[in-house]
């Protein structure tokens, strides 16, 4: 029986994990795949990394790997542009299947690459690109299709979830906990892609495409990170019975598909709220079929390598399928809901001078934009000093709340940008 020949580009943590898994369990994986699986080529610009791998062919140029005798290319280079999409394009044109863990590339170029894969009759799979070891891509593409999907929500970045969990547990600031996360290897030296919400937006764009049969549209995702979250916000959330999580949310509405990455108040005791540390989770609302909850490791050598190898085995079995669950010609252009049209209750925190009339001033501006208050906390009295006023609104449109806050922020009695956090109803 002829083996399926595999070439790997990008020999970092995940590439090493794939190689170790084949060394340990390659024979069993071949049995599951129905054909032997063999790593025949590797590619990396770093010679030391290439030499550390046992493979007959070793390249420093992705074009050479694409032209090799491999039947399937695993792209683990990363990056939205440059070598990664070049390799995928060249490999597909050369008649090779592709497995990738590259969320940024798929979020930006996924529709075009899907059409190229179909044109050449080859598979393009990306399970490892979203939520690491959680099999959410396969579930959305193949399992949860009968009744359609109304919403997808999830904790899609382990770095942010670790930081928020530690801030809650210790009362320490964002900056302090970020330093710990970097020391532990959970955050990069430049953490902005994680803490700014960009990483989550890449993953959300792909989940949206899979859930709603649309082309990935990264530019339609509204993104807010977690740098502005304070221990005070986390403490107030606890008092109201909530926890703060960075969520990616894609929801079908009458006005279009709403895609948001933002810190959110999640009711304590719910499965979503109970996901701690570096774990990820995804909740899929599948209409009549009900709600489905997926939880697991969103990154790391073994979890991500497992997802990569699952795609390899799937392709070896002959399970190609459409990249996003539908033929590329059937994917619709995303019709985005208007910015700020999402409605919910909101947590609002104002840092103000404790002077007569400041509360009435804030309430008046909120009323002007039809924002009504359900509950409020004001701590202590410190005439002339800074104090926090915290409010929970009734359900209202985010755009109206933002307009009210813009007016309030201009007051001489408001000494910091107001904090706004949506509250998830379930």
> Annotated catalytic sites, by residue?
203
Q: How confident is the model at residue 378 (pLDDT cuts 50, 70, 90)?
A: confident
Burial of residue 63 (CB within 10 Å: 0-12, 13-18, 19+) is middle
Q: Which of 278, 270, 220, 273 is nearest to 244 (CA)?
A: 273
pLDDT tens digits for range 86-96? 999 999 999 99
CA 273 to CA 266: how far, in whole Å?
Answer: 6
What are the structural domains of the chain?
Answer: 4-100 (3.40.50.720), 136-297+323-330 (3.30.360.10), 343-423 (3.30.70.260)
Q: Which helix (H) or strand (E) holds 420?
A: strand 419-423
pLDDT tens digits for range 215-248? 999 999 999 999 999 999 999 999 999 999 999 9
Instruction: Using only the alpha carbons of the chain, give its radius of gyration.
Output: 24
The pTM of this model reads 0.94
Angle of CA points 277, 393, 223, to nearest 5°: 45
Quick one: average pLDDT of 296-314? 92
CA 424 to CA 374: how far, in whole Å?
Answer: 15
């Amino acid at each position: 029986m002829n083996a399926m020949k595999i070439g790997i580009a990008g020999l970092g943590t995940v590439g090493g994990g794939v190689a170790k898994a084949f060394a340990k369990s390659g024979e069993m994986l071949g049995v599951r795949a129905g054909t032997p699986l063999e790593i025949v080529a590797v590619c990396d610009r770093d010679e030391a990394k290439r030499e550390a791998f046992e493979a007959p062919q070793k390249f420093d140029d992705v074009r050479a790997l694409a032209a090799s005798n491999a039947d399937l290319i695993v792209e683990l280079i990363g990056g939205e542009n440059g070598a990664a999409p070049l390799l995928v394009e060249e490999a597909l044109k050369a008649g090779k299947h592709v497995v990738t863990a590259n969320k940024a590339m798929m979020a930006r170029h996924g529709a075009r690459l899907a059409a190229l894969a179909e044109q050449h009759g080859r598979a393009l799979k990306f399970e490892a690109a979203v939520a690491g070891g959680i099999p959410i891509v396969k579930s959305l593409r193949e399992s949860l299709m009968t009744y359609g999907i109304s919403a997808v929500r999830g904790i899609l970045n382990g770095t942010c979830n670790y930081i928020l969990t530690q801030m809650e547990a210790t009362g320490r600031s964002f900056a302090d906990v970020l330093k710990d996360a970097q020391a532990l290897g959970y955050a990069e030296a430049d953490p902005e892609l994680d803490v700014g919400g960009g990483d989550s937006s890449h993953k959300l764009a792909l989940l949206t495409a899979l859930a709603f049969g649309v082309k990935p549209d990264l530019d339609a995702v509204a993104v807010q990170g977690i740098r502005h979250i304070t221990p005070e916000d986390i403490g107030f959330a606890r008092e109201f019975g909530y926890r703060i999580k960075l969520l990616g949310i894609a929801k079908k509405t009458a006005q279009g598909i709403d895609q948001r990455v933002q810190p959110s108040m999640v009711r304590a005791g719910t499965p979503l709220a109970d996901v701690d540390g570096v774990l990820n989770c995804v909740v899929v609302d599948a209409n009549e079929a009900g709600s489905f909850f997926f939880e697991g490791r969103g990154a790391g050598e073994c979890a991500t390598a497992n997802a990569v190898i699952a795609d390899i085995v799937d392709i070896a079995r002959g399970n190609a399928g459409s990249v996003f669950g539908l033929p590329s010609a059937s994917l619709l252009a995303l019709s985005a809901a208007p910015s700020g049209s999402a409605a919910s209750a909101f947590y609002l925190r104002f840092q103000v001078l404790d002077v007569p009339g400041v509360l009435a001033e804030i309430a008046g501006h909120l009323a002007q934009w039809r924002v009504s208050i359900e509950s409020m906390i004001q701590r202590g009295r410190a005439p002339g000093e800074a104090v926090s006023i915290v409010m929970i609104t009734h359900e209202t449109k985010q755009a109206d709340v933002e307009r009210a806050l813009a007016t309030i922020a201009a007051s001489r009695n408001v000494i910091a940008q107001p904090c706004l956090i949506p509250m998830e109803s379930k």
